[in-house]
Amino acid sequence: MILNCIAVDDEPLALGLVCAFIEQTPFLKLAGRYSSAVEALVGLQDQKIDLIFLDIQMPNLNGMELARVIDSRGVNKPRIIFTTAYNQFAIEGYRVDALGYLLKPFNYEEFLHAANKALSYAGLINKSQTPAGTRADLVADQKEEEEYLFLKIEYQLVRIAFKDILYIEGLKDYVKIYLQDKEKPLLSLSSLKALEEKLPAKRFMRVHRSFIVSLDKINSITRNALQIGKVNITVGDQYKEAFGVFLSKWV
């Protein structure tokens, strides 16, 4: 797989370095180099680009503003790896769904690591969009989809097996995924509602505005609460009816 790339940076030396790194990476193809985000935006209209190495601090239209424009395009948008001397933009990078964040000055090893993440992501997307050739393939794919999901954790896609999830807690802009045999939860920039839509309903249930639980990990249960391990989770009022249906299977 070859990824068509462009590099965007208003500093000539930095732009030249990124372009050199792209050209020496076998699975990357340099499709354009731009010294401003405005030029890059125009260039993006003329060709299909898979990956953008994008500086943030630029005059007129900065890299984060360009990223927001690109993010609004939906599923077929090019992916972004930021290249910047400033680390305070990490959270904003999450919000525009960036794949990576290279802090200047970076070397080729760091660049290659970020590029490999982009290649892995592209492979996963292509796999999910490729129709199965036979009924057996379709059944196998469906079974595989039911076993795990991918979440972006610290600029990389992490595969999380459904069987390992204990419960999920929703925060303001993030979710915490609590896993068995893991002391600390995984943190991902996502809404609880978006994550709920990715989980199989036969295995998970939302029981509170802030909690989704794995049904087969429940240790004890009452009409108003449940326990998973040592954690007690209250069932919210708006979820009690659905929870009552589930509870009826226990008694």
Strand partners, 189: 174
pLDDT in tens, 173-187: 889 999 998 889 999
Task: Indicate whether 62 pLDDT > 60.
Answer: yes
**What value does the CA radius of gyration of the chain take, rounded to a whole number of Å?**
22
Which phi and psi (to 5°) does residue 208 adopt? -160, 160
Longest dimension (CA), the chain: 70
Return d(Cα 144, Cα 216) in angstroms, integer: 19
Distance between CA atoms of residues 110 and 113, nearest Å: 5
The domains located in the chain, with CATH, are 3-128 (3.40.50.2300), 139-247 (2.40.50.1020)
CA–CA separation, 231 and 234 (whole Å) = 10
Which pLDDT does position 248 carry in this prediction?
63
Name the DSSP letter for residue 106.
-
pLDDT at 131 over 60: no
Contact 28, 115 (CB under 8 A): yes
Tokens 């939302």 belong to which residue?
206
Instruction: Provide the mean pLDDT of the chain.
Output: 83
Query: What pTM was estimated for this model as a whole?
Result: 0.56
DSSP state letter for 192? H
Are the C-beta atoms of 115 and 1 separated by less than 8 Å?
no
More confident residue, 167 or 196: 167
- Average pLDDT of span 215-231: 87
Tokens of 50: 């898979």
Q: Is the pLDDT of residue 251 over 70?
A: no
pLDDT tens sequence across 110-128:
999 889 888 887 776 555 5
Mean pLDDT, residues 62-87 taken together? 83
The whole-angstrom separation of Cα 79 and Cα 71 is 9
